[in-house]
């Protein structure tokens, strides 16, 4: 735990951002790993995985987990129109520059993976490899509508004691693999404490953007952006019960990128917890095979 550091720094527009870094216990030549969380999530999602990947058993990687604007320990943006993939991509680039990360393997969960679709085209020299966690160039509208609905519910858990069961009742059908300890860890990642009560740790304006989404909403074609990912080592992780990323999309991703490593997180939905046994070993094997230099 002595190797964990917190960093506050400014985005290009002056807004305060946040990252947590995990240094290996000994000098290492392993490729750095940068973790990009989902739409309303934050760096705490990656805490257990980062401890593992930075340890000798995980490969001894320097690991960085980022809070984009409006999430976790980053400042909330007064201009709500700034909660976009383009600006969050710029935030990720700023974080790498601040932390002197010149080249890394990136893990993108959900929204983080969409950011990587843009980042690899704009800053190819920064990308040593990519892990897409339950995200791809085709988003299933049913999965997006489910995210819309649970992010915009009027109530949440009334107390910290209730928080794990609240999340289990909300998501348990898609995540039969999770144990009670996993729901507790999820609660600690999702919520912050306000006067002794758990509160979702993101700007509500981010979820508000989804309110207008309907089954008829046209979705962008991301295949041209995905095709830029064929230049780099790629791993696609899909939750067995995912409603956002289909098996057909993963198959087409593999056809376009024949070297892509595919992994299914059994007993998990959107988005899989990567620190559990199975996903973490597969992920470590992938990033351990990525060279630091191009």
**DSSP code at position 158:** S
Tokens of 226: 């995905």
Instruction: List CB contacts of 292: < 8 A, sequence separation 6 or more.
Output: 29, 30, 31, 32, 103, 128
* CA 56 – CA 276 distance, rounded (Å): 17
User: What are the residue boundaries of the structural domains of the chain, listed by start?
Assistant: 4-288
pLDDT tens, 127-154? Answer: 999 999 999 999 999 999 999 998 887 6
Token pair 């993939």 is found at 85
Instruction: Please give the pLDDT value at position 28.
Output: 82
Instruction: Please give the pLDDT value at position 132.
Output: 98
Sheet hosting strand 63-67, strand order edge to edge: 4-10, 16-22, 63-67, 33-36, 104-109, 127-133, 234-239, 261-265
Token pair 């509160």 is found at 199
Per-residue pLDDT at 47 exceeds 70: yes
| Maximum C-alpha span of the chain | 53
* Average pLDDT across the chain, whole number: 95
Of 23-27, 113-117, 223-227, the range with the lowest mean pLDDT is: 23-27
| 275-283: long-range pairs with CB below 8 Å, 24+ | 275/46, 275/48, 275/49, 275/52, 276/177, 276/182, 279/237, 280/49, 280/52, 280/53, 280/58, 282/235, 282/237, 283/49, 283/53, 283/107, 283/131, 283/235, 283/237
pLDDT tens, 209-252? Answer: 898 899 999 998 899 999 999 889 999 999 999 999 999 999 99
CATH 3.40.50.1820 fits 4-288, yes or no: yes
Per-residue pLDDT at 1 exceeds 60: no
Tokens of 98: 């601040």
**Three-class SS state of 19:** strand
Instruction: Please give the pLDDT value at position 83.
Output: 97
**DSSP code at position 234:** E
Residue 59: left (phi > 0), alpha (psi -120 to 50), or beta? Answer: left
* CA 70 – CA 82 distance, rounded (Å): 10
């Amino acid at each position: 735990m002595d190797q964990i550091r917190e960093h506050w720094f400014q985005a290009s527009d002056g807004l305060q951002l946040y990252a947590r870094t995990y240094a290996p216990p000994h000098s290492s030549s392993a490729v750095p790993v940068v973790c990009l969380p989902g739409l309303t999530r934050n760096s705490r999602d990656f805490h257990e995985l980062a401890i593992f990947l930075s340890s000798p058993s995980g490969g001894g990687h320097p690991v960085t987990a980022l809070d984009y604007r409006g999430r976790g320990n980053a400042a909330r943006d007064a201009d709500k129109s700034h909660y976009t993939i383009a600006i969050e991509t710029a935030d990720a680039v700023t974080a790498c520059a601040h932390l002197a990360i010149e080249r890394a393997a990136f893990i993108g969960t959900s929204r983080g993976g969409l950011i990587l679709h843009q980042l690899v085209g704009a800053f190819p020299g920064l990308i040593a490899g990519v892990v897409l966690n339950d995200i791809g160039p085709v988003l299933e509208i049913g999965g997006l509508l489910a995210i819309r609905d649970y992010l915009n519910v009027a109530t949440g858990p009334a107390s910290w004691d209730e928080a794990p069961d609240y999340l289990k009742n909300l998501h348990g059908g898609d995540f039969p693999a999770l144990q009670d300890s996993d729901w507790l860890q999820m609660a600690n990642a999702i919520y912050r404490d306000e006067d002794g009560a758990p509160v979702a740790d993101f700007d509500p304006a981010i979820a508000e953007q989804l309110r207008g989404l309907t089954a008829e909403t046209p979705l962008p074609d991301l295949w041209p952006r995905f095709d830029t990912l064929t230049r780099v080592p790629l791993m696609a992780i899909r939750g067995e019960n995912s409603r956002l990323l289909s098996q057909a999309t993963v198959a087409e991703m593999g056809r376009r990128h024949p070297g892509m490593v595919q992994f299914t997180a059994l007993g998990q939905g959107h988005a899989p917890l990567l620190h559990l046994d199975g996903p973490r070993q597969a992920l470590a094997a992938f990033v351990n095979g990525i060279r630091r230099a191009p």
